[in-house]
Chain A
């Protein structure tokens, strides 16, 4: 059983550049979540997919952020015109719709540094 995987693990970019992260959930998990975690804080919810439908977006997700899950499997998170305040760990999680559907399993995260 492979867990949630995320790529890249680290990304350094210059302010103003666009970046894209990928998340591969646990196979057959139909729910996928994106969170952001800054140093010394707990993860903060960004957005959520059930299959390919994006059902909720946090107010933290400005219009520079876009997430997709085109075939209900992997997901991408794109940040356009990055700012230094975007520097954080971006975490992806997935869960099944069975039993305790609340159980979210996290990937290792993508650490973004904007210089």
Chain B
């Protein structure tokens, strides 16, 4: 069973708009939450990551929001560009087993010009 549930499965956004992807988890031992971006035929590329000691982290146009009490975290892509069209995966792992990332099922983002 998937330990990280991701939604939506896909989304379409206009250029310049905001893309929002949500993830939820149950395992309270998780304490590292990365997001990966994957283009067709390529491996996942680390985009941004957060630890639960902060509620938000921003890098350029990408922001992670983290809600520890709700066990939810989300990725916001501001000013979406056609080059952002890709599949995005959230993931999580606990510090006690820092080798094993549990991934969500992915969200395919399409940015229309």
Report A's interface with B, CB cutoff 8 A: 4, 6, 31, 33, 35, 40-45, 48, 50, 55-56, 91, 93, 100-109, 111
Contact = CB atoms under 8 A, between A and B. Distances in A.
Contacts, number: 65
B83 interface: no
Given A104-B46, A108-B42, A42 B100 contact: no
A41 B45 contact: no
13 contacts: A4-B43, A33-B99, A42-B103, A42-B106, A43-B103, A45-B101, A45-B102, A55-B99, A102-B34, A102-B98, A105-B46, A108-B43, A109-B43
Give the contact-size bracket for chain B. Answer: 20 to 34
B106 A104 contact: no
B4 to A, nearest CB: 8
Given A42-B6, A42-B106, A104-B46, 13 more contacts: A4-B43, A33-B99, A33-B101, A41-B106, A42-B104, A43-B44, A43-B89, A91-B43, A93-B43, A100-B49, A102-B93, A105-B46, A106-B43
